[in-house]
Structure 1
Amino acid sequence: MSHRSVPAEDFDWSSVDHAYGPAVEIPALLRSVRSDSQEVRQDAYGDLVDLLVHQGSRFEASAAVAPHLIDIVADPAAPDRFAACQVLAAIAVGDESSWLSDRPDPSDLRADVQRRARFSREELEAEHRAWVAAAPNEEERSARERRAEWGDVEADRDEQRWTIEAYDAVRVGVPVYVAALQASEAAVRLYAAHLLAWFPEDEGLVGRALTDLIRREADPVVAATACVAAGLGCPNGGAALVDALSSRRGSVNRAERWSAVLGLSSILRHPDRSLVSDLYACLFGATEPVPYWPFLEGDMAGMAALTIAELAPEAAGDRIDVLAERVASADHTADAFTLLTALLDAAFPAGPRPDGVGFADLTPTQQRALWTVLSSGILPALPRLLSRYNLPDSEQQLRTWCRA
Structure 2
Amino acid sequence: MPEPTVELDRIDWSSLIDSYGRPAVEVPHLLRSVWSADPQVRRSAYEQLIGRLVHQGSSCPAALAAVPFLIDLVADSQAPDRFAACQVLTAVAIGDETGWLTDSPDPVAMRREVARTAVLSVAELERERAAWAAAGRTEHERRMRAIAVAGDDVEARRAEAQQELAAYDAVRVGVPVYAAALQSPFLAVRLYAAHLLAWFPEEREIAVPALTRLIVEEQKPVVAATACLSASLCASPDDRLLIDALTARRTDGDRMVCSAAVIGLARVVSHPDRGLIEDLYESLLDNAEPEPLLPFQDGDLSAMAAFAARHLGGDSAQDRVDVIAKRLEARRDRDPLTQVRALLEAAFPSGPIPDGTAFEVLTPWQHRAVLALWQSRALDGGPMVSMTLGRFNLPTTKNELRVWCGLPR
Provide the TM-score with structure 1 as the length reference.
Answer: 0.90
Q: Distance in 2 between matches of 1:161 and 1:347?
A: 36
Amino acid in structure 2 at the alignment position of 1:300: L
Which among 396, 403, 406 is matched to residue 401 of structure 1? 406
Q: 1:65 to 1:237 in 2, by over 3 A?
A: farther
After TM superposition, the structure 1 = structure 2 runs for residues 90-105 of structure 1, keeping only pairs within 5 Å, are: 90-105=91-106
Amino acid at match of 2:211: L
Secondary structure at the aligned position of 1:17 is classed as coil
Question: Alpha carbons of 1:50 and 1:315: their partners in 2 closer, same or farther (altered >3 Å)?
Answer: same
Q: Is the 8 A contact 2:374 2:402 kept in 1?
A: no
Which deviates more, 30-39 or 55-64? Answer: 55-64
The one-letter amino acid paired with 2:24 is A
Map 1:229-240 → 2, pairs under 5 A = 229-240=230-241
| C-alpha contact (below 8 Å) 2:75/2:181 kept by paired residues | yes
CA distance in 2, matches of 1:402, 1:223: 50
What is the 5 A alignment of 1:377-388? 379-381=379-381, 384=386
Q: Deviations over 1:75-133 (max 9, x none)?
A: 00000000000100111101111121121111122222222334444444444444444
Unaligned runs of 5+ in 2: none
Contact kept? 1:261, 1:275, Cα under 8 Å: yes
> Which amino acid is the alignment partner of residue 401 of structure 1?
G
Q: 1:198 and 2:203 equivalent?
A: no
- RMSD over aligned CA atoms reads 2.6
Distance in 2 between residues matched to 1:337 and 1:289, nearest whole Å: 18
- Taking the TM superposition and a 5 Å limit, the aligned residue runs for 1:180-199 are 180-199=181-200
Provide the secondary structure at the position in 2 that maps to 1:22.
coil
How far did residue 145 of structure 1 move? 4.2
- CA apart distance, 1:252: 1.5
Q: Figure out how many residues of one structure are paired with residues of the other and give that number.
A: 399
Tell me the residue number matched to 1:74: 75
Within 5 Å, which residues of 2 pair with 1:1-400? 7-20=7-20, 21-331=22-332, 334-354=334-354, 357-376=357-376, 379-381=379-381, 384=386, 389-391=393-395, 393-394=397-398, 397=402
Residue 289 of structure 2 aligns with an amino acid whose one-letter code is E
- Give the gaps of 5 or more residues in structure 1: none
For 2:336, give the aligned amino acid: A
Is the 8 Å Cα contact of residues 194 and 229 (structure 1) preserved in structure 2? yes
Q: CA deviation at 1:378?
A: 5.5
The structure-2 alpha-carbon separation of the partners of 1:41 and 1:377, relative to structure 1 and needing over 3 Å to count, comes to closer
Give the 3 Å change call, closer, same or farther, for CA 160–351 of structure 1 in structure 2. Answer: closer
Cα deviation, 1:266-314, whole Å, max 9, x if unaligned, reads 1111211111111111111221221000001112111111111111111
Cα deviation, residue 233, structure 1: 1.0
More divergent stretch after superposition (208-217 vs 363-372): 363-372
Aligned-residue offset at 1:140: 3.9
Looking at structure 2, the residues matched to 304 and 241 of structure 1 have their Cα atoms a distance apart, in angstroms, of: 18
Letter in 2 for 1:336: P
- In 1, Cα distance between the equivalents of 2:154 and 2:374? 50
Taking structure 2 as the reference length, the TM-score comes to 0.89
Name the SS for the 1:79 alignment partner. Answer: coil
Asked if structure 2 preserves the Cα contact closer than 8 Å seen for 1:33 and 1:44, the reply is yes
Letter in 1 for 2:286: G
Contact map agreement 1:5 1:71 (CA 8 A) in 2:
no
1:6-28 Cα shifts (integer Å, max 9, x gaps):
81111111222111211111111
Distance 2:92 2:205 in 1: 23
Q: Within 1, Cα distance between the matches of 2:62 and 2:377? A: 57
**1:169 counterpart SS class:** helix
3-state SS of 1:246 partner: helix
Stretch of structure 1 that moved more, 208-217 or 302-311: 302-311
